[in-house]
Amino acid sequence: MAKKPENLQKLLAEVRACRACADLPLGPRPIVRAGATARLLIVGQAPGTRVHHTGLSWNDPSGDRLRAWMEVDRETFYDEARIAILPMGFCYPGKGKGGDLPPRPECAALWRERLHSALPRIELTLLIGRYAQRYYLGDRIKPTLAETVRHWRDYLPHYLPLPHPSPRNLLWFRRNPWFEREVAPVLRAEVQRLLAVPAQKR
C-alpha cells in the first residue's frame, strides 16, 4: 500500500520550528514557502541576511532579477498555491571569505524528501546555482555551471538549471550573453504555461 502523503501545513510548521542548527550566527530561522497545489518549485541556495530578517524568500535584488526573468509580479511570485520555494538550506548560514557560506547539509537530510512527497503536483523545478544543481542532477551535472545551464534541454521537462541572479554575477552574465537570449525566454514560457491553469483550492 502506498504511503499517504503528509499534511503539508503540519510539515511546514514542523520545518519552521526546526532548531537542528542552533549554532548559526543569526540563529535558526527556516524560511520556506509551499502550497499543495503548486506546480512550480524554486530551489536556490540559502537565505541571505535581508531574507533572514524579513522572513520572505527572495526579498532582495536577486529576487527582483529572478522575477524579471520569470516575468511575474511579487503577488504571483509569493502565491504559495502556485509557486513553492524550498532553498537547499532553509536558514542563513553565515558569512565566509568570498560571500555567504554554503547551505547547511542538515536541511536536505532532514526535510527535502518529506517535502517533495507532500508536493505531488510539482511539474518543473528551477535549479538556481551549483548547490541545487548538484543535489538534483547528480552525475548528470556538467563540469561548470555555465555548461550545465547551456545544456538545459537535457534536463527538461522536470528541471531547468539557472545561474544565480545575484548582482555579484554581473560578470558571468556579460561573459554568457546567450543566457538572456536562449534560456530566459524558455524560462518565461515554462513559467507562464504552469501558471496559466488556476490553482485549485488548497
110-145, pLDDT tens digit by residue? 999 999 999 999 999 999 999 999 999 999 999 999
**Looking at the domain assignment, is residue 129 inside a domain?**
yes
Question: What global pTM score does this model have?
Answer: 0.94
Residue 18 gets which letter from DSSP? -
Residue-wise pLDDT for 9-67, tens only, equals 999 999 999 999 999 999 999 999 999 999 999 999 999 999 999 999 999 999 999 99
**Assigned domain for 74 exists:** yes
Is 52 a member of any domain?
A: yes
Q: What are phi and psi of 95, to 5 degrees?
A: -100, 135
- For residue 44, being part of any structural domain is answered with yes
Look at residue 5 and tell me if it is in a domain.
Answer: no
Distance, in Å, from the CA atom of 115 to the CA atom of 8, rounded to the nearest integer, reads 7
Closest C-alpha among 22, 127, 43, 45 to residue 85: 43
Q: Which of 63, 86, 60 is nearest to 73 (CA)?
A: 63
Rounded CA-CA distance 52/94 in Å is 11
Q: How many domains does the chain have?
A: 1
Q: Report pLDDT digits (tens) over 170-183.
A: 999 999 999 999 99
In a domain, 18, yes or no: no
CATH at residue 44: 3.40.470.10
Q: How confident is the model at residue 3 (pLDDT cuts 50, 70, 90)?
A: low
Q: Which residue has the cell 508536493?
A: 119
Residue ranges making up the domain that contains 79: 28-196
